[in-house]
Amino acid sequence: MIDTKASYLSPHVNIAARLESASKQYSVPILFSSELFKLLSPAAKRKCRQIDKVIVKGSAEPSGIYTIDVTNLNINLQENRDDSVRYSMARKLHMANFDQGFLSAIQSEDHDQFLKEFQEAFDAYEGGNWSKAKDKLELLVSKPRHCDDGPAHTLLLVMKQSNFVAPKGWQGYRFLEMK
């Protein structure tokens, strides 16, 4: 008797692996796709930022890439922990009340302004106005508090490869080459 086994790996497994690897490129500890972002509560979405739009190998459609910044490292996670922490990451982000408890404290009070400014730069990048995106991103990273922002530096490097001019036919996304 021949023992046959079949297996199937969903494209989602490949995409997840590529995103995990890309977290190093963007210098962020948390990176997730627009598919997960859509599942988040409105309060959770306000804590996130889209940092790129890419097509990863194994996918035919572009996907937004998001992160959630943890800028307040002075919180005691054990002391301020709420019950939602016991669930899986996606469930936590969807069900957690980001307006209360330690989840509201993961970002410093002035981070909302940074998110707004980064969004303006990202909109210019995605829209193909790379000189405007460059100016806004350079202004952001010139501030001591954000000088080491990985996503801003990554977008600047991407745009620098074509002299801060969007490639002909730019549609607001790029291919993520990195494994």
Residue extents of the structural domains in the chain = 11-176
Give the pair of three-digit tokens for residue 103.
């989840």
Strand 174-176 versus strand 48-56 pairing type: parallel
Ordered per-residue pLDDT tens for the chain, 179 residues: 566 665 555 566 777 778 888 889 999 888 898 988 998 888 888 889 999 999 987 778 899 999 988 766 555 544 444 444 444 444 455 445 555 555 566 666 777 889 999 999 999 999 999 999 999 999 999 998 888 999 999 999 999 999 999 999 999 999 987 65
Residue 44 host element (H or E): helix 42-46
C-beta neighbour count of 174 within 10 angstroms:
17
Nearest partner of 111 among 142, 146, 59, judged by Cα: 146
pTM of the predicted structure, to 2 decimals: 0.78
| Number of other CB atoms surrounding residue 51 within 10 Å | 24
